[in-house]
Structure 1
């Protein structure tokens, strides 16, 4: 026995004319809130809040960036603003007890001393000679392979 698998699950049904249920609620809620603001504050004081609510309501209803509802953008913006951010280029200062901190400093100093002792120091002329010999050897390899 075969079962019918629903198609297009991510597309919401249009219930109220060209609007889905959510879009209709955004419109009616925005209109209701605008009416309440108008009655409480009057037109002169309430024009700015009314325009803000009407704009948000219209954006939630009609604006779909990248085919996604605008409420997803608002949610992502709020999450981004509230979450902790990790800045790789900023050094974190961790509170470490004194003994462990001394061990870390000693290890770092030992590492620096070892690097300084084993480091190869080349003057400018030696470095130029080395680069030239590498180029010559590379050209000789190419000639032998041809």
Structure 2
């Protein structure tokens, strides 16, 4: 026994003419706002401004498409994006280094009375060591380039 499987499950039913229920609701609410503002003021310039502020965004929301889907589907995702905290987690596991390791890596040593002091290092010696390492790497690169 075979059953028919619906092919177009993402197509919404049309309620009134070419409008779906959601499109009709969006246009209806915008129309009510425009009507209320016009009824309250009886001014054509206010009507034009109200149409620009409510009518055009409502029409765009009801009939516009974003990535092939109706714009009103993106409203929930947009609200979730705005409301959620913005942080990125690169390493979920916690790096548990001891305080002594952190101090050693930072170049700080604890003295006998608990006061921290800088490890005395001659900056000239460090600079000379870095220069020697860079020259060694440059010489190795030249050898590799010659071998190619």
TM category (shorter chain) comes to 0.5 to 0.7
The equivalent of 2:99 in structure 1 is 107
5+ residue gaps, structure 1: 89-105
Mark the CA change 1:124 to 1:75 in structure 2 (over 3 Å): closer, same or farther. same
TM-score (norm 2): 0.57
Partner of 1:30: 30
In the TM superposition, what whole-angstrom CA distance separates every residue of 1:93-124 from its partner, at most 9, and x where no partner exists?
A: xxxxxxxxxxxxx937x73246526x9x7533
- Tell me what 2:79 maps to: 78
Q: How does 1:30-109 map to 2 (within 5 A)?
A: 30-44=30-44, 46-47=46-47, 48-86=49-87, 107=99
Aligned length: 126
CA distance 1:123–1:77, change in 2 (3 Å): same
Larger helix fraction of residues: 1
CA distance in 1 between partners of 2:130 and 2:9 (Å): 67
Deviation at 1:49, TM superposition (A): 3.2
TM-score (norm 1): 0.58
Shift of 1:27: 2.3
Going from structure 1 to structure 2, the CA distance change for 1:45 and 1:78 (only over 3 Å counts) comes to farther
- Tell me, yes or no, if the aligned pair for 1:37 and 1:50 is still in contact at 8 Å: no
Q: Give secondary structure in 1 for the equivalent of 2:42.
A: helix
Separation of aligned partners in 1, 2:32 and 2:26: 10
Structure with the larger RCO, 1 or 2 (CA within 8 Å, 6+ apart): 1
More strand by share: 2
The CA distance in 2 between the partners of 1:128 and 1:23, in whole Å, is: 70
Over aligned residues, Cα RMSD in angstroms?
3.8
Please state how far the C-alpha of 1:134 moved relative to its aligned partner: 4.0
